[in-house]
């Protein structure tokens, strides 16, 4: 055995690992935890995973994606190169992570997510929208088919597409575009269910301008990522609070509003948010709106109903029936989304009334659907969704947590954006340390900061186990109009005029939120008759920004007390899944399979949920036996 192992050294990262002969350098880099760009996931088509061999033996398959002088300098494609002996590698700058911090971290997480799973591959790069450039031979007396057939024939010569369709508008424009362009055209192809539509025909070669957006339509937060479909890169990202908030903090209230005043207002609110975010992103990146050809959305079932202006009223009434869980691709303009007027809107499939496409996206992004071992996904948003399963079966439930962990409804709360406190510590001697996103002066606290603050205050004895602030515990606890609050940052050190505080009512909202989620986890565990120790991996997802302290999440009793290395923070998997579907039709197909194969468990039918909830409304839990490591740590202090 030993002879088959070889050493791979990554110079710039100072990492060396032992691997079996014959694996690719891409695989080796994943195992070593060295980030190397790769978008096609090892298919040898994106050319992003360039490495330089400094010393040693490899076998590289021929590729057209490297330049002659690159090959001379020792460049290889990591995914096309097998290790045959000890090698020393350098990762050139172009293969390292680049771009904005938020996106890089996402990309790294994406990789990290995949690295530990055996046999995991990326999806084949096959975006839902593709542009192809055609130089069509002009018709003649011998070749006298219609413009329409002529176009289809040319497309099919280049791409194997069994069923092609197009709208009347495109057909009407054909005689002019074909002749004005001297038969040199760019066709935009879009996936529409089982067929491909020629969405748009343009003069000349515009293939270098092909963009799309992925959207996470959250109850409280809307996130949009701008994706370049040629380079597969996420170019930029922007987020905002969902302005439907003015019609109700939580989904049910918005449904009631829609019933009373019509669904239109809610659609308009969310569409305006999405349009504003898209406009911001394209102007910041100098892109024309007409070159954005698709929107892929993930979001809970109600949010997708609002977006498509479907009647949501049966979602909240027994037996809780959605209008539609597999919305077909439609023109984005039909709901008012402003991209190219012929651009398409894809909504990822939902699972049930109260478990949406965001969960489908999460399962897709984490690869839970093909895990060998029992895996849990906890997606913390306004609803906390919990999935337990593996490649053979999946069960999920949804618990109403409220928007506290998204920073909403909390006095100094905010989204994970620049200036948000995302990390917080109280040292043994009572000193406070924090870091903010973008290292800016603090403006407020985002979800990960709130988790840290709660856990740190608990450990420091500033709040007791029921979350009550102790006025005598710390100088920073003060009474304002009868309510206690803890001053985290005095106004003199903030970028705003106010002190950044956490008030007693905020703590109560956060404890309710964590209790709802943990109760959901516990109920699902009980229904399946398993133990926490049977869970081999927990993916913790949510719009927390770049960071989440899992130890503190366990200290609070938000997630079960299991071995820390089994817990992995995976960020916003809703948008990640939407992007995967955007970039690969295979991923979209799997999303459909996931949503069909999963079993939904409705907590409403479980009589003891309320009792579980009350039991979880304590730090870390009323049943202290569930949190042995936390209890051991706390004991040390008394």
Partner 1 sequence: MNIPDVKQSWPNPINEVTIGATKEEGGTRSNTITIGGTGTLPFLSFEGRSPHHPVIAMEVWDFAPADWPEELEKYFSDVWDDPGKWAKKCVDEFNADLICLRLQGCDPDGENKSSDEAGEAVKRVLESVTVPLIIWGCGNKEKDNEILPVCSQTAAGEKCLLGTITEDNYKTLVALCKADKHKLIAESPVDINIAKQVNILAADIGLAPEDIVIYPSTGSLGYGIEYVYSIMERGRIAGLSGDKMWAMPLLADIGKEVWKVKEAVVAEEEVPGWGNHVQRGPLWEAITALVYLQAGSDIIIMRHPKAVEELKKYIHSLTNKN
131 is an interface residue for partner 1 by CB under 8 A: no
Nearest distance, CB of residue 463 and partner 1, angstroms: 11
If the CB atoms of residues 192 and 465 are measured against partner 1, the closer one turns out to be 465
Nearest distance, CB of residue 613 and partner 1, angstroms: 9
504 preceded by a cis bond (ω within 30 of 0)? no
330 is an interface residue for partner 1 by CB under 8 A: no
Size of the site for partner 1 (CB under 8 A): 13
Q: Shortest CA distance to 229 belongs to which of 175, 173, 190?
A: 190
If the CB atoms of residues 469 and 603 are measured against partner 1, the closer one turns out to be 469
Nearest distance, CB of residue 557 and partner 1, angstroms: 12
Question: Do 389 and 375 contact (CB within 8 A), yes or no?
Answer: yes
The neighbouring-strand residues paired with 425 are 433
Which span (361-369, 545-553, 590-598, 611-619) binds partner 1, by CB under 8 A?
A: 611-619
Nearest distance, CB of residue 622 and partner 1, angstroms: 5
512 is an interface residue for partner 1 by CB under 8 A: no
E strands along 136-220, which residues? Answer: 164-165, 184-192, 195-203, 211-217
479 is an interface residue for partner 1 by CB under 8 A: no
Nearest distance, CB of residue 22 and partner 1, angstroms: 55
Distance CA 604, CA 620 (A): 24
618 is an interface residue for partner 1 by CB under 8 A: yes
Contacts of 164 (CB under 8 A, 6+ apart): 152, 155, 156, 195, 196, 197, 198
Question: Do 23 and 83 contact (CB within 8 A), yes or no?
Answer: yes
Place of tokens 């992007």: 579
Which span (93-101, 190-198, 359-367, 607-615) binds partner 1, by CB under 8 A?
A: 607-615
Long-range contacts of 472-480 (CB under 8 A, 24+ apart): 474/430, 476/432
If the CB atoms of residues 498 and 531 are measured against partner 1, the closer one turns out to be 531
User: In terms of C-beta density within 10 A (0-12 exposed, 13-18 middle, 19 or more buried), how is residue 141 classed?
Assistant: exposed
Distance CA 81, CA 61 (A): 6
615 is an interface residue for partner 1 by CB under 8 A: yes
Question: Do 366 and 324 contact (CB within 8 A), yes or no?
Answer: no
**Binder of partner 1 out of 116, 611, 628, 633 (CB under 8 A):** 611
Nearest distance, CB of residue 481 and partner 1, angstroms: 17
Going from the C-alpha of 151 to that of each of 174, 327, 580, the distances in angstroms are 9, 29, 30
DSSP-derived letter for residue 127 is: -
Distance CA 75, CA 96 (A): 14
**Binder of partner 1 out of 131, 267, 585, 617 (CB under 8 A):** 617
Nearest distance, CB of residue 443 and partner 1, angstroms: 33
Distance CA 183, CA 136 (A): 5
Query: What character string, x for contact with partner 1 (CB under 8 A) and - otherwise, covers 450-469?
Result: --------------xxx-x-
505 is an interface residue for partner 1 by CB under 8 A: no
If the CB atoms of residues 105 and 465 are measured against partner 1, the closer one turns out to be 465
Nearest distance, CB of residue 607 and partner 1, angstroms: 13
Distance CA 566, CA 119 (A): 19
Q: How many helices (H) and strands (E) does the chain have?
A: 16, 27
The token pair at 160 is 């194997």
Q: Which of residues 565-594 bind partner 1 (CB under 8 A)?
A: none
Say if strands 5-10 and 500-503 run parallel, antiparallel, or are unpaired.
Answer: unpaired
624 is an interface residue for partner 1 by CB under 8 A: yes
622 is an interface residue for partner 1 by CB under 8 A: yes
Nearest distance, CB of residue 617 and partner 1, angstroms: 7
If the CB atoms of residues 466 and 493 are measured against partner 1, the closer one turns out to be 466
Place of tokens 């996470």: 216
Q: Shortest CA distance to 441 belongs to which of 400, 503, 489, 385?
A: 489
Q: Which of residues 232-261 bind partner 1 (CB under 8 A)?
A: none
**Binder of partner 1 out of 126, 272, 311, 470 (CB under 8 A):** 470
Nearest distance, CB of residue 628 and partner 1, angstroms: 14
Distance CA 395, CA 425 (A): 36
Nearest distance, CB of residue 634 and partner 1, angstroms: 8
If the CB atoms of residues 308 and 619 are measured against partner 1, the closer one turns out to be 619
If the CB atoms of residues 243 and 615 are measured against partner 1, the closer one turns out to be 615
Residue ranges that bind partner 1, judged by CB under 8 A:
464-466, 468, 470, 611, 614-615, 617-618, 622, 624, 638
């Amino acid at each position: 055995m030993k002879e088959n192992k070889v050493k791979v050294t990554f110079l710039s990262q100072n990492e060396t690992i032992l691997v079996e002969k014959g694996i690719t350098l891409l695989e080796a880099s994943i195992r070593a935890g060295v980030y190397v760009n790769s978008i096609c996931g090892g298919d040898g088509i994106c050319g992003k995973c360039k490495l330089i061999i400094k010393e040693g033996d490899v076998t590289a398959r021929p590729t057209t994606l490297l330049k002659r002088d690159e090959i001379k300098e020792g460049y290889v494609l990591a995914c096309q190169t097998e290790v045959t002996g000890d090698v020393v590698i350098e990762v050139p700058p172009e293969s390292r992570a680049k771009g904005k911090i938020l996106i890089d971290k996402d990309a790294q997480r994406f990789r990290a997510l995949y690295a530990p799973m055996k046999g995991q591959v990326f999806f084949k790069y096959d975006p839902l929208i593709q542009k192809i450039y055609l130089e069509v031979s002009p018709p003649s007396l011998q070749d006298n088919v219609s413009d329409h057939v002529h176009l289809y024939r040319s497309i099919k010569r280049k791409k194997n597409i069994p069923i092609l369709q197009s709208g009347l508008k495109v057909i009407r424009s054909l005689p002019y575009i074909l002749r004005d362009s001297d038969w040199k055209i760019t066709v935009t192809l879009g996936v529409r269910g089982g067929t491909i539509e020629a969405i748009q025909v343009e003069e000349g070669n515009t293939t270098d301008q092909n963009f799309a957006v992925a959207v996470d339509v959250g109850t409280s937060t809307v996130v949009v990522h701008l994706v370049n479909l040629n380079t597969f890169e996420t170019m930029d990202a922007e987020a905002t609070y969902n302005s439907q908030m003015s019609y109700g903090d939580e989904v049910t209230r918005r449904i009631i509003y829609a019933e009373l005043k019509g669904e239109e207002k809610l659609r308009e609110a969310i569409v305006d948010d999405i349009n504003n975010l898209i406009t911001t992103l394209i102007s910041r990146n100098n892109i024309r709106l007409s070159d954005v050809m698709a929107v892929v959305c993930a979001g809970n079932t109600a949010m997708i109903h609002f977006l498509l202006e479907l009647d949501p009223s049966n979602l909240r009434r027994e037996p809780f029936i959605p209008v539609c869980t597999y919305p077909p691709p439609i023109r984005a303009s039909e709901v008012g989304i402003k991209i190219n007027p012929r651009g398409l809107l894809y909504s990822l499939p939902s699972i049930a009334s109260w478990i949406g496409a965001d969960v489908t996206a999460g399962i897709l992004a984490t690869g839970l659907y093909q895990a060998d071992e029992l895996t849990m996904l906890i997606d913390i948003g306004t609803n906390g969704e919990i999935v337990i399963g593996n490649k053979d079966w999946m069960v999920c439930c949804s618990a109403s947590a409220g928007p506290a962990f998204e920073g909403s409804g909390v006095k100094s709360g905010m989204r994970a954006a620049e200036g948000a406190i995302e990390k917080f510590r109280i040292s043994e001697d009572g000193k406070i340390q924090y870091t903010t996103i973008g290292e800016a002066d603090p403006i407020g606290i985002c979800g990960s900061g709130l988790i840290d603050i709660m856990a740190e205050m608990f450990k420091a004895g500033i709040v007791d186990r029921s979350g009550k602030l102790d006025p005598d515990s710390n100088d920073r606890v003060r009474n304002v109009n009868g309510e206690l609050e803890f001053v985290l940052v005095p106004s003199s050190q903030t970028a705003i005029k106010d002190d950044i505080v956490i008030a007693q009512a905020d703590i109560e909202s956060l404890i309710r939120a964590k209790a709802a989620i943990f109760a959901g986890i516990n109920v699902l565990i009980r229904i399946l008759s398993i133990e926490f120790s049977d869970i081999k991996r927990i993916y913790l997802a949510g719009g927390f920004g770049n960071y989440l302290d899992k130890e503190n999440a366990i200290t609070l009793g938000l997630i079960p007390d299991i071995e820390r290395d089994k817990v992995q923070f995976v960020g916003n998997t809703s948008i990640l899944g939407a992007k995967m579907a955007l970039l690969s039709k295979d991923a979209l197909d799997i999303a459909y399979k996931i949503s069909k194969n999963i079993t939904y468990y409705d907590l409403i039918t479980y009589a003891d949920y309320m009792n579980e909830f009350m039991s979880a409304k304590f730090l870390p839990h009323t049943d202290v036996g569930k949190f042995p490591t936390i209890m051991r740590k706390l004991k040390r202090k008394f």
